[in-house]
Structure 1
């Protein structure tokens, strides 16, 4: 499958795309545009951004093309063995799951606008980008110059993917003004890309990213990919959004003049998204393996996919020395505040709210209905981690659960169920955790008592005030303080990192 992408008028924000389908042997084919994208579990109807579409033969003959559903078309081939679908797509939104083009930047999420042919989603894909001269490409797929008659053509950058799944899990930035920094851990190469009005302190960024990346790999034992790309789009307006991908993450942040606040956001979202390289990209719910891009893929374990990842994102920053104790506890208090302010009395359980992400998971919703799989999910992950640590004197923890999920389900890429997660957690704990599943996962019992019971083990206490404020305090308990140090300790001693200039 081949996609040719050009932009004739950058100010219009329209992509011009030709989708070429070879080796056709039937009288008709059906082509599908995805209805949603990985990392955002809601129907998004990308087809609404298609302005014009037609199908033609190799000789230029127009072929009948008609809609079957809102995002699926039937194409009558007329005996042709190759057809081309020409269409335009409006790319004018800048968030971490959209597409955007103007005179300075191409930002493409192929999931937004690339069709696949029914029955051929596993075919190899090639993308030709008619980019302006001197543009640099940042993408997990990589790029190279096309060679025509032994001469490199300046406008024909080509990307390749083993199948449609890899293509649409690989966003792209391309611009003349991309900035980049590389670092390596073991045999894995990491690249940090920046686009926006800022002058990155690359020495500090590389040091901190190296620290949390090393800590994550040490915890999980290995990294799933040979390379990884942090793609960052920095806007002049307030924004915070990140999306995980196979060997990259797309992050959109702002405002670009926020200084230290922007940097803290960059660290938090980057550590979170990197852990997704294991948790959801490879350690994936069975209900989503493989992805069905035509409809909702309901699953009950988003509290694992997003809750555990939210918990670990900041914890890795503390363990690696990027955050000190005060910075970490501040972020932990944020999860508490958001949960207890917005959904402490919600009627739904985490399992129900995981399932209902497809209904209203990203909207405010009606009062006291749903919980956040991110915030409550992180808090119940903390409860489980500290309970197991207390029971085993830190010999076992949530780390062991995540490693077993990786070894049994992620590395072989076979998909897990909620029963698998329960089984592994109880195996690590060495006992039934019926109370935990009943109260924290399948039920809607308020978390205060269980949370403070867990926090007391590490010398912390959460206080809720009548005005709704939440405060996390350190108890004056020497032995509990030692337990906190073990909880927050690095998995593997880090080599000395060069100090910031």
Structure 2
């Protein structure tokens, strides 16, 4: 058995399994999209025979890649069982129990309302359908391991694309089991389609929606990204990979799948360099997930429990390390320049310095609580993020490993070991990761882990950057500017506070979210941004803020603080040593950016 077969037995199974219409264990699913303008899909399922007195047909309550309960069964209507001798009853929000003689199999049908584009679960309209099985196809515990045959009925001229193997016709797909089906979404409709190959592997790009993208350039850069996979991992766990892109309005985000990804962006965010680089960063992020999450996952996430939360204190490694490693692909593929990388680091550092939640929650706690994380003002003041703070501790580990091994090993080697030794169905825990770190460096990471993963990480950015010949700068000036700690947005009555930084001057004065500022120092607020108004004041100056709270007029005095007047930048040291330059190159894959 070859390496790919060992690591991804479901894919190996469906790639080698001949399609048989008469197979007794097949679950047959027909999805009718012929009348899509009202966002409806009609699903018919034929389930295999069962010797049990009853079966429970379930729709997942969340989807992979999004650690949040979504209650997907809210779009199911008109459930029916074909055999009138069988009795069915809905026993909870996403379970239908069918009772009776099941020896001849069970045929069910139901309607799906599919208008959740931004959730990346299901969306059907007159131009396309995006179908993640978690929001469309039900399963039973008994049929979860069975082969699934998906047949679509679609309007003429629609093209259907998926990471799944094609069946007997261009709108039929085959999955070895339900777990593969749920991790292989289908995009069908009017779309643009491109194929390319890199190092003997096949890649596809399908784009739904019009926008200011250059598809040929997109293909060229995706080729560069995928060619860098072996700079981190020892091999590739797929023979074919599909990039799905939605150029649309309103929906934004992306989700990884076993040999495909779905990326959603505003249709006009592809042309500008910073926007396009953001898109490529997302593509690289999801491609990294092909290994990190889809091949190796921490305890608590294998096998997936589709009906409830799947807890882990290592989601920072699953997501934050992916955010960190995506840049390795971009830099080593000559897509992201040193200047862009240093700008990216500067934004990360500045965001962390302006996040009081770093003293309230650890990345391990944030990982466990991801299922109930809501973001917003409270999150910033009392929480950290598995993506952003997971990025930072991954950076800390990378620098530490490079230093301890004389640039011979890096954090990339840690992830390759996880891939080679802990691929699904195996899992890993905190101790396994610490053991790998000790193997790579020869040193124990128990204390480091307690301080930075289970505790509140306090990275020394000056030291981290100095190892690579870099430093933080606020420009040529040493001036400071007045600071209140308030973020606002325009409101019909004034400026509405969207957040107040914990411990800031405004926080200490008693201002809070949703207060509506109407005057500063007795003068009406006409600016749409508080920053411009505060530029008239100096640090440590006392300023009165007049605002509405619960429709009552309130006045508070704020003693302004100070911040550096310049923008935080990461730049090369003028006198960087050859050792520091070598460290930078080993770290990024790029030549040191001479000042």
Deviates more, 1:333-342 or 1:313-322: 333-342
Q: Name 2:368's counterpart in structure 1.
A: 355
Select which of 128, 133, 150 maps to 2:151. 128
Instruction: List runs of 5+ in structure 1 lacking aligned partners.
Output: 147-155, 492-501
| 8 Å Cα contact 1:55-1:62 kept in structure 2 | no
Q: Name 1:109's counterpart in structure 2.
A: 132
Aligned residues, how many?
Answer: 474
Pairs within 5 Å for 1:196-207:
196-198=209-211, 200-207=213-220
Pairs within 5 Å for 1:132-143:
132-143=155-166
Deviations 1:153-211 (A, max 9, x none): xxx821110000000101111113x2122222222111122111136434422332222
| 8 Å Cα contact 1:459-1:474 kept in structure 2 | yes
Is residue 256 of structure 1 aligned with residue 354 of structure 2?
no
Pairs within 5 Å for 1:4-403:
4-57=30-83, 61=84, 63-78=86-101, 81-95=104-118, 97-146=120-169, 157-176=171-190, 178-198=191-211, 200-237=213-250, 239-256=251-268, 259-260=271-272, 261-360=274-373, 365-366=378-379, 368-403=381-416
Offset of 1:295 from its aligned partner? 0.9
Deviations 1:119-161 (A, max 9, x none): 2211111111001122111210143444xxxxxxxxx821110
**Partners in 2 of 1:490 and 1:248 — Cα distance?**
28
Misfit runs of 4+, over 6 Å: none
**Partners in 2 of 1:215 and 1:307 — Cα distance?**
19
Offset of 1:254 from its aligned partner? 1.0
**Compared with structure 1, are the counterparts of its residues 196 and 406 closer, same or farther at alpha carbon in structure 2 (3 Å cutoff)?**
same
**Partners in 1 of 2:442 and 2:45 — Cα distance?**
54
- Aligned to 1:318, the other structure's residue is in SS state helix
Offset of 1:470 from its aligned partner? 4.0
**Partners in 1 of 2:364 and 2:113 — Cα distance?**
36
| 8 Å Cα contact 2:357-2:380 kept in structure 1 | no
**Partners in 1 of 2:197 and 2:227 — Cα distance?**
9
| 8 Å Cα contact 2:292-2:322 kept in structure 1 | yes
**Compared with structure 1, are the counterparts of its residues 333 and 132 closer, same or farther at alpha carbon in structure 2 (3 Å cutoff)?**
same
Offset of 1:326 from its aligned partner? 0.7
| 8 Å Cα contact 1:77-1:83 kept in structure 2 | no
**Partners in 2 of 1:478 and 1:74 — Cα distance?**
69
Offset of 1:475 from its aligned partner? 2.0
Q: Name 1:461's counterpart in structure 2.
A: 471
**Partners in 2 of 1:255 and 1:79 — Cα distance?**
49
Offset of 1:35 from its aligned partner? 1.0
Larger Rg: 2
Is residue 481 of structure 1 aligned with residue 581 of structure 2?
yes
Deviates more, 1:167-176 or 1:87-96: 87-96
Structure with the bigger RCO (C-alpha within 8 Å, sep 6+) is: 1
Offset of 1:392 from its aligned partner? 2.0
Offset of 1:250 from its aligned partner? 0.8
- Aligned to 2:300, the other structure's residue is in SS state helix
Deviations 1:373-430 (A, max 9, x none): 10011111111111111222211111111111111112x6411111111110122121
Instruction: List runs of 5+ in structure 2 lacking aligned partners.
Output: 1-26, 475-479, 481-561
Offset of 1:344 from its aligned partner? 5.0
Q: Name 2:546's counterpart in structure 1.
A: none
**Partners in 2 of 1:362 and 1:145 — Cα distance?**
46
**Partners in 2 of 1:337 and 1:55 — Cα distance?**
57
